[in-house]
Structure 1
Amino acid sequence: MSTKTNKEIDIHAKSSKPKFKLSRKLSDIEKSYTKIKEEGIAFSRTLSERISSSGDTTGTPFYHFRWKRHFLADYIAYPKSDEDVIKIIQSANEYIVSVTPRGAGSCYYGSGSPTNGGVVVDMKRMKECQINKDNMTATVQTGICFSNLMDLLDEKDLELGCYPTSALTTTLGGWIGTGGTMGIGTVQNGPFLNQMVSMKVVSPTGNLKQYNEKDDFEQFFGSNGIFGIVTEVVLKIFPKSTKTDPIMAGFSSLGDLLKAIQVILSNTNPFVLRFSDKYHEYNCSGLTRHSHYMFLLYNGRNKDLDTDVKEALKLIEQNNGTFLGTKFSHDTWEDYLKHELKIKLETPVQMLQQIYIGFQKTELILNYFEKLIKKNKLNHCFYGLINRDNNVRLCLYTPTDNEYWMHFLSSKAVISRVVKYSYKLGGRIYTYGLQNTIYLHKFEKDKLKKFREKKAEVDPNYILNPLKIVKSKISFFRINMMFELIMFYRRIATKLGLAKEILVLNI
């Protein structure tokens, strides 16, 4: 543990801005978990639990543990009820201990990783669900995993309007905190926000509030839990589709693929529309025949299923696409939820960034991405999802290995370049978390100002998920300079034939 137990860090930059102070006194942390223990709330102080609850799918925070102990939780609390969460938050306010709410840790951007020690509130034991078929709603605690909720609904021939591509691991609270904008079903039924009837939230000061209006829900979507811990939601549910029909198609160019997407979205009503390159599909299902791919799923909601499928197949053919057959299409849908992390199984480090941008700018972004990859002899793949508002979520991967530091940092640098280009074209980061807060501070100052004003209003002790969104210890200038220098050296190494190539797929 750090010996600087009485140090308070003032991270207030200017007097005109709200003040956000971090405090980390080990004596107060000791009092905090002693009180939690007395309240009968389950908790853990074992090193294995502290480490496993302080990282996410990147593993990035683990690099900090040896010399930055504040990236490691001091203890983990496991609430089972609203009352437990309230007691944890009230104790944290009493002793000024940082609180990090956590779902499954599958976000990738450090949203549920502590930045100032303190307590990680692991919500996964809050998983009760009550299904009401009369009014077609489900009242659900937010620690439940989407796949478990979907199984419970399936038993009653019901289903959700949408869910994340990482539904096998992601919790309801986690998807709310990271945005819940684009996933499976959102192209047909809109974002997760639209499926809400009401929600309960424990505020940063320990008060339980219920919200019943969409305008009130919005503040908690994509805000990484800095305004409160969502403990329960009432969701709209739907009768289970009696039949679904998937389509997997290949294209020989990105241009043909994007033209097909546009006309298919205008003329049919898919439940899922995903597009990707051959490197993504090779990792997911072994496909190598085409340069780009499209996956569609129809469920017959709002439009006739057979009519939609026939129209989609006709439009695919008209745009130089090839239907890959019924069996392969069904097999792809069968394994769809496993695709999210399949690339991780094949690579030591899953480098990933997600861009939110208008469909018309998608080709520019992808061409720029592939140009940078080719020039620097790196690895890449991508997939994208589109919504009815013609906005796209692009997931850009640069598989790498941190054993090869130049390749590793160059892969991060390429993605940073793409992010900057995306903002230039009117796009933005899809979700912020710990790692992407620097882009919010650099490119979205008006949005940042609103976040900061709201945070100062609801969290006077600055305890809830600190150093996410409203403040960052890392400056964009410093990170940008480092990445640009790395890119410079990588380009020189590439021209001299000295650039190390790893994880090359010969397809």
Structure 2
Amino acid sequence: MTLKKTTRTRFTRYLSKNFRDDYTTLQIYSRDMSDLPKVVKLFVGNLPDGVIQVRNTEDMQKIYEIANETRVPITQRGGGTAGFGGCVPYKKGVVVDTKGLESHFLVDPLELTVTTSPSIVFSDLQRQLNLEGFSLCSYPSSFHSATVGGWIAHGGYGIGSIQYGGANEQISALEVVLPNGEIKRYTEFDDISLFVGSHGTLGTITEVVLKIKFDIPLKHQGCTFDSPSELLKGLEQLSKINPFSVWFLNPDHVTSFNEVFGYNLP
């Protein structure tokens, strides 16, 4: 699909500063961090017709209005770090980049929640929480570049999920712009799970209320195993203490870590 001139004009009229369709931008937004298999590239990885960097809910409402009237496909994108092609355009159309959504941050120390923008990167959110004595319960291993909204839309798990669960269990409330342009707020007593793992197909997340915890120092321990069977026995024992996170390194990983970072891991 290629944008009709009238459709492009409508997008640029209302979102002129945030609409891009130069070749370099389209190339960047035609993929995520992964190199997809050739057979998958037959179905995804097409150049989009345009990229829109949204700033607020009003932008998103206008995008949905134009897209619904012109039948232009929308593909939503956070940090693009998942590596599974969820933010890669399938039928061209427009990629909506949510990283530019207006940022905000508010901690409720009584409810142990933080209200924030889905565009915030996890490492930035964690840094702000730590300054106030709090911490995220769970976050992706790509937290230096992954956005909160992208992780939720992907339905991710990560560091801390053994104790606190994945994205679905971290949410206290969501504000969402639905495809009909309606702005709705959902709490954990509603069916929030509809939007977790939906990859933006059911609406655009514009605000997130996450559960947090007090920032208690973690103890890091390491151990080695001589065989996969010994590793499994070790994991069975670890499960009894419900660890915050377990990180597995095979011999090749250990060798690479030692070479790159100058470690002396066994």
Structure-2-length-normalised TM-score:
0.88
Q: Deviations over 1:202-234 (max 9, x none)?
A: 222322221113551111222222222222111
Distance of aligned partners of 1:60 and 1:90 in 2 relative to their CA distance in 1, 3 Å threshold? same
Match of 1:280? 253
Q: Does 1:187 align with 2:162?
A: yes
The structure 1 residue matched to 2:223, chosen from 249, 254, 274, is: 249
Q: Distance in 1 between matches of 2:37 and 2:8?
A: 23
| Native 8 Å contact 2:175 2:207 kept in 1 | yes
| Native 8 Å contact 2:43 2:90 kept in 1 | no
The structure 2 residue matched to 1:45, chosen from 16, 21, 42, is: 21
Match of 2:244? 271
| Native 8 Å contact 1:55 1:61 kept in 2 | no
Give the superposed CA RMSD.
Answer: 2.7
| Native 8 Å contact 2:2 2:49 kept in 1 | no
Q: Distance in 2 between matches of 1:259 and 1:113?
A: 40
Match of 1:161? 137
The structure 1 residue matched to 2:83, chosen from 98, 108, 111, is: 108
Distance of aligned partners of 1:178 and 1:157 in 2 relative to their CA distance in 1, 3 Å threshold? same
Alignment of structure 1 residues 210-249 onto 2, 5 Å: 210-213=185-188, 216-241=191-216, 243-249=217-223
Q: Distance in 2 between matches of 1:223 and 1:260?
A: 35
Where does the alignment leave 5 or more consecutive residues of structure 2 unmatched?
none
Q: Distance in 2 between matches of 1:132 and 1:69?
A: 41
AA matched with 2:65: Q
| Native 8 Å contact 2:75 2:87 kept in 1 | yes
The SS at the match of 1:76 is: strand
AA matched with 1:216: D
Aligned length: 261
Larger Rg: 1
The SS at the match of 1:255 is: helix
Q: Does 1:26 align with 2:3?
A: yes
Q: Deviations over 1:269-295 (max 9, x none)?
A: 3211122321233334459xxxxxxxx
Match of 2:112? 136
Q: Does 1:125 align with 2:100?
A: yes
Match of 1:200? 175
Distance of aligned partners of 1:70 and 1:92 in 2 relative to their CA distance in 1, 3 Å threshold? farther
Match of 1:380? none
Q: Distance in 1 between matches of 2:32 and 2:167?
A: 22
Moved more, 209-218 or 138-147: 209-218
| Native 8 Å contact 1:157 1:240 kept in 2 | yes
Deviation at 1:253, TM superposition (A): 0.6
Structure with the larger helix share: 1
Match of 2:50? 75
Alignment of structure 1 residues 306-325 onto 2, 5 Å: none
Q: Deviations over 1:381-429 (max 9, x none)?
A: xxxxxxxxxxxxxxxxxxxxxxxxxxxxxxxxxxxxxxxxxxxxxxxxx
Where does the alignment leave 5 or more consecutive residues of structure 1 unmatched?
1-23, 288-327, 333-507
AA matched with 1:273: V
| Native 8 Å contact 1:196 1:214 kept in 2 | no
Structure-1-length-normalised TM-score:
0.48
Distance of aligned partners of 1:52 and 1:213 in 2 relative to their CA distance in 1, 3 Å threshold? same
Q: Deviations over 1:464-502 (max 9, x none)?
A: xxxxxxxxxxxxxxxxxxxxxxxxxxxxxxxxxxxxxxx
Q: Distance in 2 between matches of 1:285 and 1:70?
A: 36
AA matched with 2:3: L
Distance of aligned partners of 1:39 and 1:130 in 2 relative to their CA distance in 1, 3 Å threshold? farther
Distance of aligned partners of 1:284 and 1:89 in 2 relative to their CA distance in 1, 3 Å threshold? farther
Deviation at 1:64, TM superposition (A): 9.6
Distance of aligned partners of 1:61 and 1:118 in 2 relative to their CA distance in 1, 3 Å threshold? farther
